[in-house]
């Protein structure tokens, strides 16, 4: 309980200091510096993609007790480069039934759109670049975060059009699945960011970073962070949510018919999108280029200045990359209806409730719900925040009790229900039993007995 | 730098240039060997299923999901300005936000009850 009290007191105090943050200053940034920075981001993303593909294969390899690629270059580092060159020299097959124009445009859309969102990510503090003082951020607008969501929305077009234009069954299925999946999770993603806007009072990324000087938003908006991490995995079609390209079900999904460099463009787009969503998570919740709490205090914030930000930003980005790989190494793919159910029936309402909660806390912190304070342990706690913590705790207990009793009732009902048994070969194909069903022993056919007899004979022969 | 959107177009041009260049190069450098089977739709080696005229029909649930997306996405977009201007608006913003979310929840409960959120 005392931890809760500390949270109720300490977080508002830390957040209150971070108001009215100046946005990044681009007044001393001529166009040619902007072009250089754009080139830097472009190269940064390409190199990161090459490394992350190698990194993923190596780490997955370790997780599966095998070495992974280790032939090309030191530790196999040049593997992705070799793969890229190889796909360049491969034939670019276009199926007869494909729509020629859209089939060509789709990978270009994906590969183009994935770069843009990185323009608004703050990658470091202000640095001197050829005699000009400029922030390590390409640009910033008052609606920067909205811009990222919009660009992600355009990126979906590439996938949907690729699936539609291939003139083939599996790509069509994959494209449809991808579109439904991405738009469903985009809602929860947008809602999870509302809490951050409430705390920072801005949609400009540099101001959001400024608001996190004292406290990263992962603490006061922890639930938003969890929701965001889940939705970003869904948005990028990564395991366990890679239903749009599930190779066991629909071959490769939307890019089944693609080959050569056009396929490589989809590959590139997917990996850069991973970096984009991870960069947004870093910016919104992990303080972007700000140094970790302990290091930030050293030498009057020395490690928060200039180029150091790029280091922290990259480290945080790669933590997310490792998480992506770890998820892929440990979780199987979910079922599509479960996935949609989770998004629509849990993430969206839960995030909405969370947004209301955060709004109330913010209101209490601004003193709109009464100014009174109580003295505990020699500190003053605002009454409104304490009351809110109490209400939330009671509400959580009630919901938990209701949930528990409902689950118990369901279990009891399931135990009473008669076990239905199915014949696995009823339709001519072997069918696995659904939950609650038991298998009826199939009546043995003459063919089955005969085949067993053959096996016996072979067994004797050795 | 006057317009904050100019850098976006620089990056867009870079990305498009890279994508077009690499696809174009592979078209020039890559081999072209004709094979009738290669140009057919890939269905794991079996005869490809015939395509319906104009792409065929799509299950209605995708359309439903798209409609629901528009409703709820616009809702979340409405919440963004609320959140950004929250501190300036005062208690009014809090009450208004709660009322708005309650209204949305009514619609959400209706959709759930009618089975709009069931995938099967």
Domain boundaries defined on chain B: 57-113
A372 in any annotated domain: no
A284 in any annotated domain: yes
Host domain of residue A22: 2-366
Inform me whether the pLDDT recorded for A138 exceeds 70. Answer: yes
A188 in any annotated domain: yes
Residue A33 structure tokens: 């510096």
pTM: 0.83
The answer to whether A277 and A235 have CB atoms below 8 angstroms apart is yes
Query: E strand or H helix at A17, and its extent?
Result: none
Distance set, CA B106 to CA A253, A451, B99, B112 (Å): 36, 62, 11, 10
The answer to whether A150 and A135 have CB atoms below 8 angstroms apart is no
**Residues in B touching A345 (Cβ below 8 Å):** 112, 117
Chain A nearest-CA distance from B62, in A, is 6
With CA atoms as reference, the chain B residue closest to A170 would be: B43
ipTM above 0.95, yes or no: no
A384 in any annotated domain: no
Mean pLDDT of A206-223: 87
Q: For residue range A52-99, list pLDDT tens digits in order.
A: 999 999 999 999 999 888 888 888 888 888 888 888 888 888 888 788
A273 in any annotated domain: yes
Is beta strand A379-382 parallel, antiparallel or unpaired with respect to A373-376? antiparallel
Percent of chain A with pLDDT over 90: 17
The answer to whether A239 and A331 have CB atoms below 8 angstroms apart is yes
With CA atoms as reference, the chain B residue closest to A104 would be: B23
pLDDT value, residue A1? 43
**Mean of the per-residue pLDDT values of chain A:** 82
**Residues in B touching A164 (Cβ below 8 Å):** 55
The total of structural domains in chain A comes to 1
A108 in any annotated domain: yes
A274 in any annotated domain: yes
Chain A nearest-CA distance from B108, in A, is 9
A169 in any annotated domain: yes
């Amino acid at each position: 309980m005392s931890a809760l009290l500390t949270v109720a007191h300490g977080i508002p105090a830390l957040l209150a200091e971070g108001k009215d943050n100046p946005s990044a200053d681009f007044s001393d940034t001529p166009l040619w510096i902007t072009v250089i920075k754009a080139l830097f981001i472009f190269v940064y993303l390409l190199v990161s993609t090459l490394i992350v593909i190698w990194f993923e294969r190596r780490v997955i390899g370790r997780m599966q007790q095998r070495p992974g690629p280790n032939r090309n270059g030191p530790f196999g580092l040049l593997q992705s480069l070799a793969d890229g060159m190889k796909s360049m020299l491969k034939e670019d097959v276009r199926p007869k039934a494909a729509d020629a124009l859209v089939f060509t445009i789709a990978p270009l859309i994906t590969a183009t759109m994935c770069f843009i969102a990185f323009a608004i990510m703050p990658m470091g503090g202000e640095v001197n670049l050829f005699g000009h003082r400029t922030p390590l951020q390409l640009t910033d607008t008052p609606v920067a975060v909205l811009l990222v969501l919009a660009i992600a929305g355009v990126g979906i077009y590439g996938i949907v059009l690729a699936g539609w234009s291939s003139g083939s069954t599996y790509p069509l299925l994959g494209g449809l699945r991808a579109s439904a999946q991405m738009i469903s999770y985009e809602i929860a993603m947008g809602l999870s960011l509302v809490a951050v806007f409430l705390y920072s009072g801005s949609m400009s990324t540099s101001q959001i970073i400024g608001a996190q000087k004292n406290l990263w938003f992962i603490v006061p908006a922890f639930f938003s962070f969890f929701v965001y991490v889940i939705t970003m995995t869904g948005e990028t079609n990564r395991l366990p949510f890679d239903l749009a390209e599930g190779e066991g079900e629909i071959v490769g999904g939307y890019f089944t018919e693609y080959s050569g460099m056009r396929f490589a463009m989809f590959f590139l787009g997917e990996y850069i999108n991973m970096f984009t969503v991870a960069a947004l998570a870093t910016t919104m919740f992990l303080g972007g280029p700000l140094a970790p709490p302990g290091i930030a205090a050293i030498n009057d914030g020395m490690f928060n200045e200039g180029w150091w930000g790029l280091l922290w930003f990259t480290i945080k980005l790669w933590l997310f990359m490792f998480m992506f790989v770890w998820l892929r190494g440990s979780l199987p793919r979910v079922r599509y209806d479960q996935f949609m159910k989770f998004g629509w029936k849990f993430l969206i309402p839960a995030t909405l409730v969370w947004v209301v909660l955060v709004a109330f806390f913010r209101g209490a912190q601004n003193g709109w719900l009464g100014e009174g304070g109580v003295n505990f342990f020699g500190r003053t706690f605002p009454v409104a925040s304490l009351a809110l913590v109490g209400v939330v705790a009671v509400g959580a207990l009630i919901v938990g009790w209701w949930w528990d009793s409902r689950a118990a009732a369901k279990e009891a009902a399931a135990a009473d229900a008669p076990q239905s048994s199915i014949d696995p070969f009823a339709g001519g194909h072997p069918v696995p039993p659904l939950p609650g069903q038991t298998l009826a022993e199939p009546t043995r056919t003459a063919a089955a007995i005969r085949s067993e007899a053959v096996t016996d004979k072979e067994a004797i022969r050795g | 730098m006057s317009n904050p959107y100019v850098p976006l177009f620089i990056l867009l041009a870079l990305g498009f240039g890279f994508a077009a260049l690499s696809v174009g190069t592979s078209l020039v450098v890559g081999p072209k060997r004709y094979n009738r089977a290669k140009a057919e739709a890939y269905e794991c080696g079996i005869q490809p299923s015939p395509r319906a005229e104009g792409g065929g029909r799509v299950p209605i649930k995708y359309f439903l999901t798209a409609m629901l997306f528009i409703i709820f996405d616009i809702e979340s977009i409405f919440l963004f300005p609320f959140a950004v201007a929250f501190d300036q608006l005062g208690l009014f913003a809090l009450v208004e936000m709660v009322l708005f979310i309650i209204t949305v929840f009514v619609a959400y409960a209706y959709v759930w009850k009618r089975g709009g959120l069931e995938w099967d």
